[in-house]
Each structure stands twice: as C-alpha cells, then as structure tokens.
Structure 1
Amino acid sequence: MKIRNKPIQNSASWSDTLSTRKAHLNALLKTINAGPGKASPIQTLTINAIKSEMTHIDSQLNRRK
C-alpha cells in the first residue's frame, strides 16, 4: 500500500502551515526557557535548533511575499 502526501493546494495554505509551525516552535522555546537557572547542554542545543528552524521558516515566508 502506497501512502501519498496530499499536495498543498495553494501558497496561502503553505504560508498558513509555516506560520502555524513557527507559532508551535515559539511555544516550545518558551517552555524550554521557562526553567530557572543555567540551561543544560542538551537544552542549549535544542534551543539553538529551534531558533535555526524558526529562521528558516522566516526566510521561506519572506520568499513567498
């Protein structure tokens, strides 16, 4: 059985998807940064990865404008 992803129908829905993903990542970032004290090395790596992904999403959204 072959599973196919449904193609995105228009750029507006793709922009909505990216915006939703960015909001989700932002919420995760706030959750990770919520703890008091110094961040562990794993937290630092996770925070940097999330920020990098958010930057990538921003560039994709700007390209679609």
Structure 2
Amino acid sequence: MNNPLQNSTSWSDTLKIRKDHLNALLKTIDARPGKTSQIQTLTINAIKAEMVHIEGQLNRRK
C-alpha cells in the first residue's frame, strides 16, 4: 500500500516553490531588448504562462 509521506509539504507550498523557481529561471535568461533569440522569447513566454497558471491555482485555493 502507499503510505503518505510524513514530512510532505502542502500543495500550496509546492506551488509557491515552483513559482519561485520559475522566477529564478527568468532572471537567469539574459533577455535584452533586441538581443533575444526566438528560442529565448518562446522560453520566456512559456515560463510566464506557467506562472500565470500557478497564480490561478493559488488564488483558487484561498
């Protein structure tokens, strides 16, 4: 049988940690106006979309 982990974090905490991680990723991507490649732009847009999704989930949990 599957026993729950004793020191597991709540789902809200997991989402907050994920959001912080995505923020750190955005800071590491060197996005200067006029110097971003198409892949960087797509990556930045995907990270921002994921952050919006996480915000929505966190707002629903309040």
- TM-score tier by shorter-chain length is 0.7 to 0.9
Match of 1:17 in 2: 14
The alignment covers a number of residue pairs equal to: 59
Determine which of 49, 52, 58 is the counterpart of 1:52: 49
The letter for the 1-side match of 2:14 is T
Q: Which runs of no fewer than 5 residues in structure 1 stay unpaired? A: none
Once the 2 structures are TM-superposed, how far is the Cα of residue 33 of structure 1 from its aligned partner?
Answer: 3.1
Q: 1:61 to 1:34 in 2, by over 3 A?
A: same
Q: Which runs of no fewer than 5 residues in structure 2 stay unpaired? A: none
TM-score normalised by length of structure 1: 0.76
Q: Structure 1 vs Structure 2: percent identity of aligned residues?
A: 76
The letter for the 2-side match of 1:19 is K
Once the 2 structures are TM-superposed, how far is the Cα of residue 6 of structure 1 from its aligned partner?
Answer: 7.4
